[in-house]
Amino acid sequence: MKIALMDSGIGLLAAADALRKLRPDVDLVLSSNPASMPWGPLTPEEVTELALGCCRAAAALEPDALVVACNTASVHALATLRAELEPGLPVIGTVPAIKPAAALGGRVAIWATPATTGSDYQRGLIRDFGGTADVTEVACPGLADAVEHGDEDATAAAIADAAARTPHGTDVIVLGCTHYELVADRIRAAVAPTASPALALLGSADAVAAQALRRVADPTRTGTGTLTVLHAGLPATLPPTATLYPQGLTLAPVTA
């Protein structure tokens, strides 16, 4: 079994790690374009073009499913990607975990990139699945880029800024960008002093991984646990910053 994931950069590590835990034999294709980051300030058309490039490169390796492991790309490009690649290649988008967060009730804060925060897409999810939860959108400028580059000072500053704008007594934080899942522990530590004692952080990686495996036409097909990395469609290796995060360390150091 081979599953491809695309993202602007290393945010796809969270879903890749989740897939590896569910299916240690899965062959993974990680397709990104880190030189083009950050995608947040780009127009929807620019994001769509970059996402198409990453997905076409991954699709050429004939995976059984493709995960759009990027919230910004899912917001702006998912419909276009599915129109081009499905039904031959199942395409799984990444949706902020608003529905399960709202089911827990109380105060919910959605941490997301400025491009996702306030978008019609996210507002629609809040309207459709927010229920009676008290939902606050928290834009996190610079956080994804800081995580991508392993910049500890910039990461700490961006998390502190977002934490200061997160309402006191927050019960659930939705990690609405895949990069944020890589620093979930640091986010929890920053918010904990003013949050609910039972604070929950919800990402999308586990749900996306499970959905990708459900969409594979032949789930009995096995792989050999290889890892293929593409940057802008060209063969590459995991960047050194990937090893700064637990999800990067768990990926098998085998390159196809």
Tell me which residues are annotated as active site. Answer: 70, 177
Instruction: Tell me the CA end-to-end span of the chain in Å, nearest whole number.
Output: 14
Report strand pairing: 27-32 vs 2-7.
parallel
